[in-house]
Structure 1
Amino acid sequence: METVIKNPHSNDELEFPFFTTKNGEIPFWDHPFLKGSKVLPNKYYPYTTQEGVIELYRRGRIDETDFIILKVLGDAVCANEDQIRRYMGSLISRSETSKRLDRFRTNALVDRWKVRIRGDDESIKPPAPFTLGVAGYKLLKHFYNADFFMDPNRWDNYGIGGIKRYVAMNELRCMMTEKRIVTKWKWNAVIANNPHIKFPMGAAELKTPQGNINLLIDRAQMNQNFIGYFRDKLESWKMVYQKFGNIPVSEFPENMSVAIIYTSTLSIAEYIHKEIMLDTFPFHIWVCVEEDLHQGFNTAFYIPNKEKLKRIKLDF
């Protein structure tokens, strides 16, 4: 459902629509009026040099489980506390994960963010997002120098838009990890060995009864020009498909690729299909709707069928 919402600091209606769930709500992690900032702990003794962080490790202040949590967060780029607990669920309890995250904040191994809706600051309190702090970033880059980890300074540019985008993506990534159907994941994967081709935000190799497939996943955000964003990206991939008969993902097995448009609500997905006509592209396109994920991962997907989106049940 499209709706027009009001600015919390004005009685004027906005001139463009926003999209609600089937229950008429605007999902938190896609809300256009989110605000957020890092929250420093009361006791804050940050390690800001590589030498200092290595000394922290050498003195045994960081154990193997600590290292795993930091690596999990680094690989996730930005995840909320509930997601990190779930990622760590097979190793330690939820409360133990939270205790360690809180301890990490003291030395800037991680940063904790406070995210709220403008004009409704305290009634909705979601699990806090976490990102690597300067010490955690330097520690991981020292031991995993070839891997990508987000430099904490870059969040000054990405801001809350980047925070909510990665949290939303990690919800899908976390569910696939919990179901043990994902065998590989890469952020900003290169297509056809050509870094100039528009890349998906996330690429995943998934196990299915019919064989493994590669998913090219990207997120639609309400306060983004998502129509232009996806039109350009899909047209770029169309040219790749016409050349190769598939959309190959660099450093991934040669599986069939499926483009996944990941939306917070069904109404956004329907609007994208109406504007772009997803069924006219020669490669497979599925839509994953976040509001349906809560009913079950397997039933949160749709395929374009002429002017409609047809809900499907995946056999994972």
Structure 2
Amino acid sequence: MEVLKKEQVEFDNLEYPLFTTKRGEVPFWDHPFLKGNKVLPSKYYPYTTLEGVIDLFKRGRIDDTDFMLLKVLGDSICANEDQIRRYMISVMSRSETSKRLDRFRTNGLVDRWKVRIRGQEDTVKPPAPFTLGVAGYKLLKHFYNEDFFMDPNRWDNYGIGGIKRFVAMNELRCQMIERKIVNKWKWNAIIADNPRLKFPLGAAEIKTPQGNVNFLIDRAQMNQNFIGYFRDKLEVWKRVYEKFGNIPVSEFPDNIGFVVIYTSTLTVAEYIHEQIMLDTYPFHIWVCVEEDLLQDGLNTAFYIPNKEKLKRIKLEF
């Protein structure tokens, strides 16, 4: 009881509002009291040079399946163990994926993170997030030097906020891939061939019965000024739309663009709509709610702004 009282006092002093699910819970991957750190294995012999990593590859210590698993993680930026297992399920069993990830940790190919809620360290234990380690980053960057992979040093700046943001985004991305509706995905995609314009966290070309569309997806986080964040971004994209009649995504087909605001709870989505009036923008804006995604599945997790309300829709992917 003392812990709950203390937590409530901290909630009352939060800089930004606290939002809960329909069940009155604060979602784990959007919880303002998350803390986390990398956990090194007991036997840790990381390869820190490109020559060392290539030698590891040449000596057959990394096989083609290992390389595929590393590439899947690198393309995900940061995903939890359950998501990585699901990404790899057509190639290997869930247990085999976990065994390989554990082996990778010894040589610094991947890093494992421990993430907990302050005050609830012993009760809430989610699947551990993974990121590329220094050796994995060097190996992938050598063979796929035109692709983006997150430099492990950058997590010192992004911290737990970045970890939970990408894990949340990967849940949506993973469900889309499981449904085989994604033709293409790109993090931080460039808008209208102008790298100075505000970009979506993720862009996806989505297959629908009516034809392919482009999703420009971004995530709202409770511990940020997400109202200002989305208002600024939507105003930039409004000017782009007024110029082109669409929001073109560089290196993507010229499909109709849908802005997707991805929130942890319906209450966050409703607050954004109330503050920004999403229905007043000239382009399509949908909201995807994570609590519905996890409870009822991808095709029922979307809402469209309808005057002062958000209307839940059912999609046929």
**TM-score when scaled to structure 2?**
0.97
**Structure 1 pair 246/106, CA: closer, same or farther in 2 (3 Å)?**
same
State how far apart, in whole Å, the 1-side matches of 2:8 and 2:42 are. 31
State how far apart, in whole Å, the 2-side matches of 1:287 and 1:11 are. 29
Partner of 1:19: 19
RMSD: 1.3
Paired AA for residue 176 in structure 2: M
Per-residue CA deviations over 1:33-77 (Å, capped at 9, x if unaligned) read 000000000000000000000000000000010000000000000
- How many residues are treated as equivalent by the alignment? 312
Partner of 1:304: 305
State how far apart, in whole Å, the 1-side matches of 2:18 and 2:5 are. 10
State how far apart, in whole Å, the 2-side matches of 1:288 and 1:264 are. 9
State how far apart, in whole Å, the 1-side matches of 2:278 and 2:59 are. 56
State how far apart, in whole Å, the 2-side matches of 1:113 and 1:29 are. 14
Q: Is this contact kept in 2: 1:9–1:119, CA < 8 A?
A: no
**Secondary structure of residue in 2 paired with 1:19:** coil
Per-residue CA deviations over 1:79-98 (Å, capped at 9, x if unaligned) read 00000000000010000000
**Secondary structure of residue in 1 paired with 2:190:** coil
State how far apart, in whole Å, the 2-side matches of 1:274 and 1:99 are. 47
State how far apart, in whole Å, the 2-side matches of 1:289 and 1:10 are. 27
**Secondary structure of residue in 1 paired with 2:252:** coil
Structure 2 residues not aligned, in runs of 5+: none
Partner of 2:123: 123
Partner of 1:313: 314
Q: Is this contact kept in 2: 1:299–1:314, CA < 8 A?
A: yes
**Structure 1 pair 207/55, CA: closer, same or farther in 2 (3 Å)?**
same
**TM-score when scaled to structure 1?**
0.97
Paired AA for residue 170 in structure 2: N
Q: Is this contact kept in 2: 1:7–1:14, CA < 8 A?
A: no
**Structure 1 pair 234/7, CA: closer, same or farther in 2 (3 Å)?**
farther
Paired AA for residue 40 in structure 1: L
Partner of 1:154: 154
Q: Is this contact kept in 2: 1:237–1:247, CA < 8 A?
A: yes
**Secondary structure of residue in 2 paired with 1:67:** helix
State how far apart, in whole Å, the 1-side matches of 2:185 and 2:101 are. 24
> Deviation at 1:14?
1.2
Partner of 1:103: 103
State how far apart, in whole Å, the 1-side matches of 2:172 and 2:208 are. 16
Partner of 1:141: 141
State how far apart, in whole Å, the 1-side matches of 2:92 and 2:129 are. 19
Structure 1 residues not aligned, in runs of 5+: none
Partner of 1:208: 208
Matched, 1:270 2:278: no
Partner of 1:220: 220
Partner of 2:54: 54
Matched, 1:242 2:242: yes
State how far apart, in whole Å, the 1-side matches of 2:27 and 2:109 are. 30
> Deviation at 1:11?
6.7
**Structure 1 pair 119/286, CA: closer, same or farther in 2 (3 Å)?**
same
Partner of 2:286: 286
**Secondary structure of residue in 2 paired with 1:18:** coil
Q: Which structure: greater helix fraction?
A: 2
Hey, which bits of structure 1, 4+ residues long, moved more than 2 A?
5-13
Per-residue CA deviations over 1:3-33 (Å, capped at 9, x if unaligned) read xx97649678315420000000000000000
Per-residue CA deviations over 1:195-237 (Å, capped at 9, x if unaligned) read 1110000000000000000000000000000000000000000
Matched, 1:175 2:175: yes
